[in-house]
Amino acid sequence: MESAEQTLRSLLQPITHNLPTPISDAATNLLGESCYRSLVHNINISDSVCLKLAVSKALGIGIIGASSIVKIPQLLKMLNSGSAEGISFLSYFMETAGYLISLMYSTRNGFPFSTYGEVALIAIQNVAITVLVLQYNGKGPAAAIFVAGLAAAGYALYDENITNARSLQYLQGGAGMLGVASKLPQIITIFREGGTGQLSAFAVFNYLAGSLSRIFTTLQEVDDKLILYGFIAAFALNAVLAAQMVYYWNSSQSKSASQTKLQPKGKEAMKQAVGVDGQAKSTGSVKGKATPSTRRRG
């Protein structure tokens, strides 16, 4: 082990000792002065404490980066199909409310951004998806009310004069349960419809990996049981959603989609109705019209 460290030092120290100031400052702010000196400056890979912290920071940054696009496939899938089939409004509403509380709680407690940054990015994407769900279900005015309500709630949670620290702590405990409970409507929706509909596999599996990684980063950087238990419970239910996604992977359509295809709507239904009606009229006119042979018999 020591020989490996010596080899790494001889190879890397000429680089790490001459890093550009912006990079060294950013790394120092991320790892702290002591861990930066141990891992980067001295290449001390046997420092398990700092090594765990570095892994935690890397995971946190990776999660934040992935979260910036995690719901984009879901949004595109809904926009391309013009449908919110298989998407539970209640699930997204509850999840977004829980994220808003967690975001304000983490911000006001001064937790490292690397431990909660994805909450803000996912919440924004959740709002967009929820608005689409309401629009596709013919509830456009409710979408405006939903956005306005979230903005007002965010302001109230951030302002210490409106929501004090103790009240926010109680709300965070509820947010953890809310975030966990938000998965249940989606699980039930998939079970009832017999398929995942417009639900994005990319989002589901990224949620699973993200919640598992967050358990590790929380253990390393945040001494808060409320946050930890929330991520553990979220991982369990995300695993159920992932299992459903795998189980229904080859399902071409949900039960509701099958029923919809049996009952055509819109222009297709009008065409079929006109076709049937025209055929009926044509048949009736043929039946009512006297043939030459009939006239002669008369």
pLDDT tens digits along 227-254: 788 788 888 888 998 898 888 887 644 4
Together in a domain, 82 and 130: yes
H-only helix segments in 68-200: 72-81, 89-108, 117-136, 140-158, 165-181, 183-193
User: Is the pLDDT assigned to residue 262 strictly greater than 80?
Assistant: no
Together in a domain, 75 and 215: yes
Distance (Å, rounded) from C-alpha 118 to C-alpha 122?
6
The predicted structure's pLDDT at residue 127:
93
Together in a domain, 111 and 219: yes
The verdict on residue 256 lying in a domain is no
Euclidean distance between the first and the last CA atom of the chain, given in angstroms as a whole number: 114
Together in a domain, 94 and 14: no
What pTM does this model have?
0.61
Tally DSSP H helices, then E strands, for the chain: 15, 0
Contact predicate 198/77, CB 8 Å: yes
The predicted structure's pLDDT at residue 271:
52
The predicted structure's pLDDT at residue 257:
45
User: Is the pLDDT assigned to residue 9 strictly greater than 60?
Assistant: yes
- Alpha carbon separation from 24 to 27, 37, 156, 238 (Å, rounded): 5, 10, 38, 37
Q: How many structural domains compose the chain? A: 2
How do residues 53-77 score in pLDDT, each as one tens digit? 888 888 888 878 877 788 888 889 8
Across all residues in the chain, what is the average pLDDT? Answer: 79
> Considering only 13-22, 208-217, 218-227, 260-269, which range has the smallest mean pLDDT?
260-269
Give the domain extent around 19.
2-46
**What residue has token string 């999660």?**
63
Single out the residue of 101, 116, 222, 97 nearest to residue 168, CA to CA.
101
Looking at residue 83, its amino acid is S
Together in a domain, 84 and 127: yes
Tokens read off for 113: 């951004």
> Considering only 127-141, 154-168, 249-263, which range has the smallest mean pLDDT?
249-263
